[in-house]
Amino acid sequence: MSELFEVSGVVNIMFWAASALAVSAALAVVTVPNVFKAALFLALSFTGLAAVYFLLSAEFVGVVQILVYVGAVSVLIVFATMLVRDMGGASRPVNKQVATGAIIVAALVAAGIVFVGYDTQWTRVEDIESVDSAAALAGTYREVSLVGRSREEAVLVAADASANGAKPGVFADGTGTLGTLLLREYLLAFEVIGLVLTAALIGALALMREPRHDTESARTRRTDRGAA
């Protein structure tokens, strides 16, 4: 079955190009002295990563990446760099020793992740033995209703014996399946994340609000502004 899992050469080249773009833009973010330019490089890095998600057949995550990161987070950060007038000076490293130490720590962490990634025996899509499992993962299945069982308990079998075009890991309807997954298996987490977002935004508003205590100077300042 393993020829099903081959990644085509074009996809390979596009993956490495998008990854190189994302990584080099990320490196620019942590090295350019100008905070505003760093914010623009960050948006570029996010866009490259969105392309990586599309190539990994995570269409929904790619769209969310563009909407939330490129559309909202980057714009928010650009606005913050405009409000905080400390562009050049503050973005240099704390000092030489700290920068060297940071490079060493970062390199060790990266080496650890890569070592674990290569050393672990992952259960890969190529390891799938049964045609039914492969078809279920690719979304090309047929439900076999069992008497007295609910639809959720129905067993999935391959739509046709050869499981034509079945590509495990690449769902035919990934976004639909993800929607069902979020609203069934992860319903609680889904609701809580909405609560977290609301709480965070209310917290941000509370932080940014003008202090309430009415000192004399604050009151005059406000009337001045009203008069102007």
Q: Which one of 17, 69, 159, 172 is in contact with other proteins (CB under 8 A)?
A: 69
For residues 156 and 145, what is the distance between their CA atoms, to the nearest angstrom?
9
Q: Which candidate, 162, 173, 117, 141, places its Cα nearest to that of 3?
A: 162
1 makes contact with other proteins (CB under 8 A): no
Name the minimum Å distance from CB 184 to other proteins.
Answer: 7
Name the minimum Å distance from CB 224 to other proteins.
Answer: 18
In angstroms, how far is CA 51 from the centroid of its own chain?
A: 11
17 makes contact with other proteins (CB under 8 A): no
CA 167, 172, 175, 181 torsion-angle sign: negative
Reading the block at residue 98, the tokens are 């700290």
156 makes contact with other proteins (CB under 8 A): yes
Under rule CB under 8 A, which residues in 157-176 are in contact with other proteins?
168-171, 174
Number of residues that bind other proteins (CB under 8 A): 106
Which residues touch 87 (CB under 8 Å, ≥6 apart)?
Answer: 34, 35, 36, 81
Q: Which one of 44, 51, 136, 163 is in contact with other proteins (CB under 8 A)?
A: 136
CA 147, 149, 151, 155 torsion-angle sign: negative
In terms of CB distance, is 90 or 227 closer to other proteins? 90
Q: Which one of 142, 162, 189, 220 is in contact with other proteins (CB under 8 A)?
A: 189
Q: Which one of 17, 57, 159, 172 is in contact with other proteins (CB under 8 A)?
A: 57
187 makes contact with other proteins (CB under 8 A): no
For residues 153 and 80, what is the distance between their CA atoms, to the nearest angstrom?
51
Q: Which one of 142, 145, 162, 185 is in contact with other proteins (CB under 8 A)?
A: 185
In terms of CB distance, is 146 or 227 closer to other proteins? 146
What is the per-residue binding string for other proteins in 86-125, x denoting contact by CB under 8 A?
x--xxxxxx---xx-xxx-xxx-xxx-xx--xx---xxxx
- Measured CA to CA in angstroms, residue 14 lies from 7, 8, 51 at distances of 11, 10, 9
